[in-house]
Amino acid sequence: MTDRRVVVVGASMGGLRAAEQLRAAGWTGGITVVGDEKHMPYNRPPLSKDVLAGEVSHAAVAFRPRASCADVDWRLGDAVVGADLTARTVRFAGGDSLSYAGLVVATGLRPRRLTCPGPSAGRHVVRTLDDAQALRAALGPGRRVVVVGAGFIGCEVAATARSLGADVTVVAPEAEPMQRPLGTELGAALRRRHLAHGVRFELGRTVGHLVGEERVRGIVLDDGRELPADTVVEAVGSIPNTEWLADNGLDLGDGVRCDALLRVESRPDVVAVGDVARFANPRYDDVPRRVEHWSIPTDSAKHAARTLAAHLAGVAHDASAFAPLPTFWSDQYEERLQSFGAPGLGGGDVRLLEGEWDGDCAVGYYRDGELMGVVALGGKAIALAGKYRRELVA
């Protein structure tokens, strides 16, 4: 007989929120949360910003579980390597298995790594607390840091490293930092802010190979120029952790394909939460996408937990389709950037709504004349952005 237990695979924010929301939805059976890290769930966004700049400790970023989850079983430091969705079991690296009545996929992402040749020592990513601790030890005055990638993580790490006195160069193939989600104009405005703080950019460039024998001492760009480096930070994107679900006939092309209720391939006993889940958002269209924003683990956990709890209780579930309003923020130096909606879905129609590009500003992203998202930079603009957010919610 299958254990009357929900197994949550993934012990980060999404896994914690799933456990909390299962209790909130009325599930009184057992819950086991499994994670390959040794740490209890913690907040990841500060790892590239405040925490990286200061004391890096678990206590600084740890979430406090709700009292309703006091009886949840945590199996940490033990990776799930396989699953049989027909037999309703998950398999661990040590060979043992665990059965379930319901399964929550919350395995998130891992950093994509550079594939070019070169030494491994001195190369860093920022995804886990251990990553941040290792990188923090490599930063300081006079350290030569090359950040490969000019997305949010890359730019946040560049700002933090510069604030610690490091010599920082950002390398990326795009024409402007954060160009894909924010557009050329706002990306250029953010680049000018970084330049004012002493960060250098090599844009429109890729990495040919890394220089050094046992430890990195530089990178060679695709045009043949060499940049000296004591530390290389790889911020070149993420890969969904879905390999453990292979051989179950699922669509794992880019994360785990879910239906409108966050069921995996419409299986009533398996749901997915967080940035590993790929779903269509009816606010915008019917194209399934992953969303790597801080708000998604909490929003998706609430929806998925209700779906799963209703199935396990054998009751009807008439919930509407999952239709979140994504939000995210980024802190770089003393400025905050706040986003509502889906600016990346704009069709290139970018409008300055408030302020000036080189000051506090609010920027709108439109598709066929409809506002898809708004991004505010600076305190005054963020205060004004609420009226545009209301337009997105309507």
Tell me the pLDDT tens digit for each residue of 199-245: 999 999 999 999 999 999 999 999 999 999 999 999 999 999 999 99
Q: Is 219:147 a contact under the CB 8 Å cutoff?
A: no
* Residue 164: predicted pLDDT: 95
* Residue 87: predicted pLDDT: 96
Residues 6+ apart with CB under 8 A from 15: 8, 9, 33, 35, 41, 104, 106, 273
* Ranges of the chain whose pLDDT falls below 50: 1-2
What pTM does this model have? 0.94
The sign of the CA dihedral 351, 332, 153, 206 is positive
Q: What is the dihedral of CA 308, 310, 311, 314, to 10 degrees?
A: 160
Joined tokens for residue 209: 């190979």
User: What is the SS3 assignment for 364?
Assistant: strand
Half-sphere exposure of 190 (CA within 13 A, CB side): 33
Pairing of strands 89-92, 80-84: antiparallel
Joined tokens for residue 51: 């925490």
Joined tokens for residue 18: 């799933």
* Residue 3: predicted pLDDT: 62
Q: Whole-angstrom Cα distance, residue 176 to residue 168?
A: 16
Domain annotation for the chain: domains and CATH numbers: 5-110+238-313 (3.50.50.60), 113-234 (3.50.50.60), 334-393 (no CATH)
148 DSSP 8-state letter? E
* Residue 52: predicted pLDDT: 85
Residues of the chain above pLDDT 70, percent: 99
* Residue 348: predicted pLDDT: 85
Q: Is 206:221 a contact under the CB 8 Å cutoff?
A: yes
Phi-psi label, residue 378: left if phi above 0, alpha if psi -120 to 50, beta otherwise? left
Residues 6+ apart with CB under 8 A from 207: 114, 116, 148, 171, 219, 220, 221, 222
* Residue 388: predicted pLDDT: 83
* Residue 1: predicted pLDDT: 34
Q: Whole-angstrom Cα distance, residue 218 to residue 140?
A: 17
Q: Whole-angstrom Cα distance, residue 240 to residue 8?
A: 16
Other Cβ atoms closer than 10 A to 156: 23
Q: What are phi and psi of 50, to 5 degrees?
A: -60, -45
Tell me the pLDDT tens digit for each residue of 47-90: 888 888 887 789 889 998 899 999 999 999 999 999 999 999 99
